[in-house]
Structure 1
């Protein structure tokens, strides 16, 4: 599968200086962990939406989380599990499905008990399911999930943690909670594919709901929480990307919503987040478009890498508007080149809006 593969050849040549490359669930982790882009969550009760996403009728779906947690009501679990079973059965029998070209499928489960309840589904479809999402994750829960997956013989199945509980916000507990989580993630680094933040749950703890008039960076609670998450977990030794938080506003025909959503993703990128959780297909195009790399960043990143052992430690950017400093900008340059392989590089003078026309 490849990002923007629904765009015709002529327009691909016009828009991209470097096209996105192909990837799948077997792609090396060091690349795959950056390929989650617009990560779509769909309730497991919505069979049609999930199946349309899998067979390509929903444009642009790449990672897909089938949710059996908050998106499922107290009385909906049995239906959700039955749907899950039907989905994987139909994937294997539908002639329209090329298993090597389906979205990256993850399961977001409610707890370890539910994980055990669907053990047969997971084990039977371990060649299709890429990983498990852990809601309300902390150090203890991550250990329990790892032990449970190992007991099923699933030693290489990826794990994605979702940080969204009060222990990571409260002044009295957050330092210890983050430090303990970091130690457990580092211990299990080979199977931790991504770290995600649960903005809706964090706001809910304080009886707050998003407003379309503001980005999440206007909220003091969430800015503190996001700063702590980056500060404690975005470390070279762990080297696991952290994604931007979800927004419940999805009507991108509303210019106010679209503008704030765009602003938030740009701030996500500037603050070191990679990709974004999405809860509606209309959020996918703009999120993925903003994952692309612009021409100046790509050329500068190449220049920095090429001069690691050079005579000078600084040089002008291709735009002649900024300076490239080899040592301070080295990790940035390496990340830019990795992302350029996944999402592509826009031609000089082209911006992400061109991708929203398709």
Structure 2
């Protein structure tokens, strides 16, 4: 099956792989409350379904009164998981509430810390972020385990126009100082909407909510540059599971599904309200974002299927990066449908080949419909 779908299959990587590779490989980062009674089994179940990265949440997904029990549940289940010799969990992160939790949880995990790739840091600003990153550095030194940070950019100071520039500058100073520890930056769009009493409906993407789109643009502008100073910025969460009643027509064209006799798949995607998700994933990439926060397992496959590099993208990227093109110039795409300008498109090509490494390259006649139908990549 994989050989039929892939021109070049995804590479094999582990939690110990280089940070640049891991940042590109995060894919659909699935969040799970730390209170789940079968947490260890749930983690392995999702790993078997293709989840690459997972966040165990001690913050907004649980009530204030449940934090102590959630921590105990998390420690118990990760210790259990570490004792299973054949267990292959995804990249695991813990979303904490305050900096003191990081060294405390690292200490309580003991040998099970080997399962952990890092921590997710909520409502990140310069003022709040420095104590989090200092705590993470201390936990790393105490345990001997490489630990990454994934700051969540979701504070009102970042949203409000009068404080946005100063807040972005402070975040940039902080993450640059701890660059080796910051794996990716995550966007908390739900919190952005909350500040104005908004909630985007399922037929609209984050980019249709202009106040949110403006923040995304400014974050990418300041923190997602391709000149070596930027970071991987991941896409916002899609918070819908299944639509009850539609106001607008579905956003998935019929023709790509009819061509491969997959109309039932199209209907299933529409019924589960995933056509809007597919559109937002494409807009994420067009706006410089890579990967996506997910709160439901049904969202993982669409994110990963659309992360596979098309044969056309791969062909263009390879042509642009050929050694003989180092001097620049313009060439016609091998698909004869576009211009490839070597110097302006180089950063895009490099990013595309990193994505090709971790998600693979589809065969020339394989599109996202076939990948969705097959349930790959895994």
2:234 paired residue among 225, 234, 243: 243
Rounded Cα–Cα distance in structure 2 between residues aligned with 1:137 and 1:342: 28
More helix by share: 2
1:176 paired residue among 125, 146, 166: 166
- How big is the shift at 1:58? 5.1
Rounded Cα–Cα distance in structure 2 between residues aligned with 1:312 and 1:262: 35
**Would you say the 8 A contact 1:307–1:326 is kept in 2?**
no
Would you say 1:262 and 2:278 are equivalent positions? yes
Aligned length: 345
Structure 1 residues 322 and 73, CA, compared in 2 at 3 Å: closer, same or farther?
same
Q: Which residue of 1 aligns with 2:220?
A: 230
TM-score, normalised via structure 2 length: 0.87
Structure 1 residues 57 and 151, CA, compared in 2 at 3 Å: closer, same or farther?
closer
Q: Which residue of 1 aligns with 2:117?
A: 130
**Would you say the 8 A contact 2:58–2:96 is kept in 1?**
yes
Per-residue CA shift, 1:207-237, capped at 9, x if unaligned? 1112012111110111111011111111223
Q: Which residue of 2 aligns with 1:284?
A: 300
- How big is the shift at 1:323? 0.7
Would you say 1:38 and 2:28 are equivalent positions? yes
**Would you say the 8 A contact 1:122–1:129 is kept in 2?**
no
TM-score, normalised via structure 1 length: 0.91
Rounded Cα–Cα distance in structure 2 between residues aligned with 1:215 and 1:136: 22
- How big is the shift at 1:133? 0.5
Structure 1 residues 88 and 318, CA, compared in 2 at 3 Å: closer, same or farther?
same
Task: Note the aligned Cα RMSD (angstroms).
Answer: 1.9
Rounded Cα–Cα distance in structure 2 between residues aligned with 1:123 and 1:150: 17
**Would you say the 8 A contact 2:311–2:364 is kept in 1?**
yes
Structure 2's unaligned 5+ residue stretches are: 244-267
Rounded Cα–Cα distance in structure 1 between residues aligned with 2:197 and 2:269: 26
**Would you say the 8 A contact 1:21–1:343 is kept in 2?**
yes
Rounded Cα–Cα distance in structure 1 between residues aligned with 2:101 and 2:160: 28
1:29 paired residue among 16, 19, 44: 19
Would you say 1:271 and 2:278 are equivalent positions? no
Rounded Cα–Cα distance in structure 1 between residues aligned with 2:222 and 2:170: 10
Q: How does 1:336-347 map to 2 (within 5 A)?
A: 336-347=352-363
Please identify, of 121-130 and 257-266, the stretch whose mean Cα deviation from structure 2 is larger. Answer: 121-130
Per-residue CA shift, 1:252-305, capped at 9, x if unaligned? 845172211111100001111001000010000001101110001101101111
SS for the counterpart of 2:165 is helix
Structure 1 residues 329 and 68, CA, compared in 2 at 3 Å: closer, same or farther?
same
SS for the counterpart of 1:287 is helix
